[in-house]
Chains A and B, each alone.
Chain A
Amino acid sequence: SQQGEEDPQALSIQEGENATMNCSYKTSINNLQWYRQNSGRGLVHLILIRSNEREKHSGRLRVTLDTSKKSSSLLITASRAADTASYFCVLNFGNEKLTFGTGTRLTIIP
């Protein structure tokens, strides 16, 4: 399968702690994207990182990409209850289609 594999599948942390989610893949990519999905809603784009980039930040989010290890991580700092959602690692192989992983379900405990 060409989809990314997220690890862990589920994660529960206390509010205020940092959350780290990882994604591994097998085939060279053009870019990697992270999306968030609240229960019963559509997906929201968080960050896009290109294959020649190593790290990107957006507010409390930090994404790293290691193409030699074919892996990426999403770090959410100072978590809030509103961060409770599923997070998807999404791969682009150089065409106009995206390949979605199965997601990490993050629960923030108040």
Chain B
Amino acid sequence: DGGITQSPKYLFRKEGQNVTLSCEQNLNHDAMYWYRQDPGQGLRLIYYSQIVNDFQKGDIAEGYSVSREKKESFPLTVTSAQKNPTAFYLCASSIRGVNQPQHFGDGTRLSIL
């Protein structure tokens, strides 16, 4: 079955530590996205990538970094510069184009120790 796999499901970060969230898809989608969701809120876009080796900042990119070395993979690093990282992080992918739905993974919940 095709889909998006996010790992780990739960992650804990110590002060001053960088952590990396994994996102892998086998849907052969060109576009991939990272979102942050806070309790009772909608999703906010962190970074997105339309093609391998290219990515753009979303609305809340400060304190985060990404890479897109392979079509299937779009890891997100939450750096120590992100002062309020506790949130639910969702990865999505889609076929390129404006009238395409996005397919989501099941998320990673990040907490601070």
Q: Which partner residue on chain A sits nearest B58 by CB separation?
A: A97
Interface size on B, residues (CB 8 A): 29
Interface size on A, residues (CB 8 A): 23
Please tell me which stretch of A12-20, A69-77, A98-106 contacts chain B, meaning at least 4 of its Cβ atoms lie within 8 angstroms of it.
Answer: A98-106
A92 at the interface (CB under 8 A from B): yes
In the complex, what distance in Å separates the CA atom of A8 from the CA atom of B83?
33
A33 at the interface (CB under 8 A from B): yes
Interface of A is mostly: loop
In the complex, what distance in Å separates the CA atom of A13 from the CA atom of B75?
40
* Residue from A3, A30, A92 in contact with B42 in the complex, judged by beta carbons closer than 8 Å: A3
Q: Is the CB of A48 within 8 A of B48?
A: no
A41 at the interface (CB under 8 A from B): yes
Cβ distance A5 to chain B, nearest Cβ, rounded Å:
10
Given A95-B98, A97-B58, A103-B42; A42-B48 close (CB under 8 Å): no
Other A-B pairs beyond A3-B42, A100-B35, 8, CB < 8 Å: A30-B98, A42-B90, A43-B92, A88-B42, A88-B43, A92-B98, A96-B50, A97-B45
